[in-house]
């Protein structure tokens, strides 16, 4: 009789979310990061189901997970995560994520490639709109000390802060999960309406 597969929880780290979602091109590592971010993080990872959904062999998935684990892009654990960040309205909570990332007095925002401010913390509405429009494709890079681009299927989203923020903070993963649900994975092409 074959022993049961051990229960595993694989969580994307802030480093993994920023590294792989910050690249405009596709890669096996990015595909796995997107897959993991789209899953319910309170459920154990079903490696066979991931292989089937990605049309990969178990060896191919194991190789990519090994690379991601070694580079600290994912964290493997046998204990259940403390809380679920999936579900609900895809963009609900982005303001909270930005507030959590920002230290006292710091200002942060998320802008789309067409200059629309989708969430902000610490800016007036007018200031946030000006900064967001400065980060539109082809626009002048606004006056932000830190700019982190993230690439999705339907959108390039830019994180802006007036001072540096901690790139290892867990709120990056929550924010990446929300944006992935709202904008779709890089390889996803929505049907024309």
Higher pLDDT, 153 or 122: 122
Phi, psi for residue 53 in degrees, rounded to 5: -65, -30
**pLDDT tens sequence across 4-56:** 556 678 889 999 999 999 988 889 999 999 999 988 777 888 889 899 989 99
Cα(61)–Cα(11) distance, rounded to whole angstroms? 15
Tell me, what DSSP letter sits at residue 93?
T
Q: What is the bridge-based pairing of β-strands 117-121 and 108-112?
A: antiparallel
- 120, 92, 112, 111: which is closest to 154 by C-alpha? 112
Where are the domains positioned within the chain? 9-77, 94-183
pTM: 0.73
- 174, 171, 144, 139: which is closest to 156 by C-alpha? 139
Four-residue CA torsion sign, 34, 35, 38, 40: negative
- 75, 102, 103: which is closest to 160 by C-alpha? 102
- Indicate whether 101 pLDDT > 70: yes
With a pLDDT cut of 70, the percent of the chain lying above it is 81
């Amino acid at each position: 009789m074959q022993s049961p597969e051990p229960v595993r929880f694989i969580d994307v780290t802030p480093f993994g979310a920023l590294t792989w979602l910050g690249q405009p091109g596709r890669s096996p590592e990015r595909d796995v990061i997107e897959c993991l971010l789209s899953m319910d993080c309170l459920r154990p990872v079903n490696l066979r189901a991931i292989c089937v959904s990605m049309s990969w062999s178990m060896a191919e998935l194991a190789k990519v997970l090994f690379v991601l684990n070694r580079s600290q892009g994912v964290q493997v654990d046998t204990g259940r995560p403390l809380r679920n960040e999936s579900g609900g309205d895809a963009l609900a909570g982005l303001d909270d994520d930005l507030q959590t990332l920002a230290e006292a007095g710091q200002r942060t925002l998320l802008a789309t490639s067409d200059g629309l401010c989708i969430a902000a913390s610490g800016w007036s509405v007018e200031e946030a709109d000006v900064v967001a429009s400065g980060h539109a494709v082809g626009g002048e890079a606004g006056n932000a000390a830190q700019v982190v681009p993230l690439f999705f299927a339907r959108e390039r989203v830019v994180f802006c802060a007036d001072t540096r923020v901690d790139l290892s903070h867990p709120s990056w993963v929550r924010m990446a999960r929300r944006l992935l649900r709202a904008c779709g994975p890089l390889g996803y092409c929505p049907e024309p309406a």
